Amino acid sequence: MSPQLPPVASAVTAELVAALSPRLRKRLDSGIAKLADRPVVRDGAVVRIAVDDDTDLELHAPDGAVRGADAVRCGCLLAPDCLHRAAAASLAPVAEDTDSAAPQDRSAAEEDTAQASETATPEQRAAVRAVQLATSAVLEAGTDGAGAVLQAELLRAAHTARLAGLHRAAATAVSVVTALRAARAADPAYHLTDLAAGLYDVLSVAHRLPSASGGELTALRGTARQPYRPDGSLRLYGLFSEPVLTASGYAGAVTWTADAEGRLYQVSDVAPGGAGRAVGAADRTVRIGDTALTHRELARAGLAVSGATVSPTGRLGAGAGVRAVRAPGAGWHEEPVARLWAEPVPDQIARALAGGRDLLFLDVTLTGTAAEAAGDCLLAEGAGVPLRLTAAHDDPALPHRDNLRLLSAAPGTRLRVVARLTPAPHPRAQLLAAEHPTRADTRLDIGLDRLQGADLPTTTAAPSGSVPVPVSASASASASASDEAPIHLLRRRVHQAVSGGRPVLALPGDTRADARRLRRSGLTTAAELLTDLHSAAADRAHDVFGRLRPTDPDRFARAWLAAAHYTRELDRTLCLAAWTS
């Protein structure tokens, strides 16, 4: 996906792909690949792609995004029904939709009350069914088979869902399309687990919403925009900054702060862009009040805010009535910030798994490194358990992996860190910030500050290449035991379905050995789900003439959803047990 192209609204992409003839639809994916290699030039609000030496394709984005099909213009002889327009829209990031079906004549309180007492409308049931069908088709095809046509169908369903007020289903469906594009483009930022999580969320919402009511329905609908509510005056202390780099073409930075009670607040600067913007955003001025602090400075200083507005997730608003000035900060070992690390780790884990904040505040001792398929991870002892600290981003422009590699060469070093929980059968988290290994009272933003060999303790040599540092036998044994947990037999099939689609699980093979192993481990339900998933994949009935009937994407999607839900909940249970054992 080219980061130079402006985002294109989902409805525009769906319209352009739908207008193609069946012959051109078959050529769409190859057309996208060819267009991706063509020169791109930006001229103000217009982006031009040189289709060939004599033909240009233009995307007009006056507000930063393409909002109408007529804003994609091609100079070829087949325009406007040419392949190039649909290919360009499918190649560009998906823009955030600005339309909303929410009534405009209700106050926030009236809207909340109305939604809490309603059931899903026929329009919403039809919209969520369309999302369900489009998502089931993507799951059946897998990443290799879910090309631009299936993606456009899902974008069309997402747009319809948004118009019906189903903002959660719409947003998650768009995230699935973004992940599919990243997978098919071999984007290093793509992670199979993220796509699996997106598919799970869409299918779960679609399954539950038709029969939901009250508060559950309100949560399943979601909101078009995060509402910002007045929160008076705030005295905030900077904690750390982290870069933001998404596969959907957005980048920037988020700075985390805390008040005297330990509540967390974020100041964000995220806009269309790539890794360069993620790196540079930390040195941009914070967009709140009249403060001249940059994100990097705020992470180590403080902020006094009056007239504050805050979203439900703790994001600070930057409205005209907000005032903010610089204030003294506090070290991680000083009050009131130190209380974040005083909270028992089991309580932090339980809150994160229950849907609360997923940041962990830990005191750890580094023990070495371990090789994994996604790259080396940093091993540490913390809260009485061995844990794995991984990189939050893999983009080489960001220093996450280089910093982890250097820290792994300092075994025995004690550090206070901030990490983001990764639910897994073993203690695992993404390292976001840490104390400097040799400079007291100095903090490191792992995704922004780049360590050097000279920053390590003098008794430790900087690592050469990527040779792993030996780990303790107890840490290795614990990690190995967790990695070989029998539930991986079911989880692997769930992930195989996402990448290869139904045909991969329909291949001839004997799954009874895996099912028996699961039953011997007491995971009878997992064994049944595994058997049902393979059965749904291989179910191809014949008609009276002996011809194969079409597959049933609904049945396969239901079987996959049940298996994914089981592994998700069991992973959460095993995760809590691993951190508290």
Q: What is the pLDDT of residues 100-138, one digit of tens each?
A: 433 333 334 444 444 444 789 999 999 999 999 999 999
Alpha-carbon torsion, ordered 541, 547, 550, 551, to 10 deg: 40
Alpha-carbon torsion, ordered 479, 485, 487, 492, to 10 deg: 60
Q: Given a cut of 70, is residue 532 above it in pLDDT?
A: yes
Q: Given a cut of 80, is residue 333 above it in pLDDT?
A: yes
* Mode of pairing for the β-strands spanning 359-370 and 414-421: antiparallel
pLDDT at 544: 67
CA separation for the pair 399, 445 (Å, rounded): 10
pLDDT at 458: 75
Structure tokens at 304: 């006094």
pLDDT mean over 145-155: 96
Contact 299, 239 (CB under 8 A): yes
Q: Given a cut of 80, is residue 98 above it in pLDDT?
A: no
pLDDT mean over 511-526: 91
DSSP for residue 267 = E
Confidence tier at 418 by pLDDT (50, 70, 90) = very high
Q: Given a cut of 50, is residue 60 above it in pLDDT?
A: yes
pLDDT mean over 466-486: 43
Q: Given a cut of 60, is residue 462 above it in pLDDT?
A: no
Residue for token pair 């991986």? 488
Please tell me whether the peptide bond between 80 and the residue prior to it is cis, using omega within 30 degrees of 0. yes
pLDDT at 459: 59
pLDDT at 141: 95
CA separation for the pair 251, 244 (Å, rounded): 5
Confidence tier at 14 by pLDDT (50, 70, 90) = very high
pLDDT at 206: 96
* Mode of pairing for the β-strands spanning 443-445 and 428-435: antiparallel
pLDDT at 543: 63
DSSP for residue 307 = E
What are phi and psi for residue 264, nearest 5 degrees? Answer: -100, 140
pLDDT mean over 297-309: 93
The residues pairing with 264 across neighbouring beta strands, listed in sequence order, are 258
pTM: 0.83
Q: What percent of the chain has pLDDT over 70?
A: 89
Q: What percent of the chain has pLDDT over 90?
A: 65
Confidence tier at 245 by pLDDT (50, 70, 90) = confident
CA separation for the pair 568, 556 (Å, rounded): 18
CA separation for the pair 172, 170 (Å, rounded): 6
Rg (CA), the chain: 25
SS3 29: helix
Identity of the amino acid at 428: R
Contact 266, 274 (CB under 8 A): no
pLDDT mean over 287-301: 89
pLDDT mean over 1-11: 78
pLDDT at 373: 78
Identify the weakest region by mean pLDDT among 148-157, 293-302, 369-378, 451-460: 451-460
Greater model confidence, 542 or 131: 131
Confidence tier at 230 by pLDDT (50, 70, 90) = confident
Identify the weakest region by mean pLDDT among 292-306, 395-409, 436-450, 546-560: 546-560
pLDDT at 441: 82
Identify the weakest region by mean pLDDT among 20-24, 93-97, 99-103, 483-487: 99-103
Greater model confidence, 457 or 526: 526
DSSP for residue 397 = T
